[in-house]
Amino acid sequence: MKNRISFYVVSGLIILAILGLGVKLVNNPTGLFQSIAVIAIVVAVIYFIVQRVNRANPGKREHRAFAQAAKKSKKRFKNKEQGSAIQRKAKTGTLTSIKKSKRKSSTTHLTVIEGKKGKKKNRASL
């Protein structure tokens, strides 16, 4: 019910505005064009002021960069999930072959540090 009332109100205002513009165009066309020009200039000045204030806020730029990085991360994660699902469907084998393939995958963020792993330290002697 509220939507109907607001629709009628907005429609009535638009019709009255068009009617007013038509009457003003017939009676005083130069005054109409001057009014339109003044309104356009005021809107442009307000727009440029708002843009200047928004650009000066560094927190907004950081938030925008964070949102863009999060979107890229989600996209990359989604691609990995889709790829692994396709691989799972394509591979059909025994349980042991599936276990071996899981063990073969390694994490890329871990590295092996070469060194003497077999030799134990003698902690008793100082």
Q: Please give the distance of CA 50 from its chain centroid, rounded to a whole number.
A: 21
Which residues, 6 or more positions from 101, have their beta carbon under 8 angstroms from its beta carbon?
A: 91
Cα 47 from Cα 51, distance rounded (Å): 6
SS3 28: coil
DSSP designation for 108: T
Give the amino acid at 15. Answer: I
Cα 98 from Cα 122, distance rounded (Å): 42
Which residues, 6 or more positions from 91, have their beta carbon under 8 angstroms from its beta carbon?
A: 98, 101
Cα 37 from Cα 19, distance rounded (Å): 19
pLDDT of residue 10: 93
Provide the residue-wise pLDDT of the chain in tens; the chain has 126 residues: 667 888 999 999 999 999 998 999 999 999 989 999 999 999 999 999 988 887 766 666 677 788 888 888 888 877 776 665 555 555 555 556 555 555 555 566 766 777 666 666 666 665
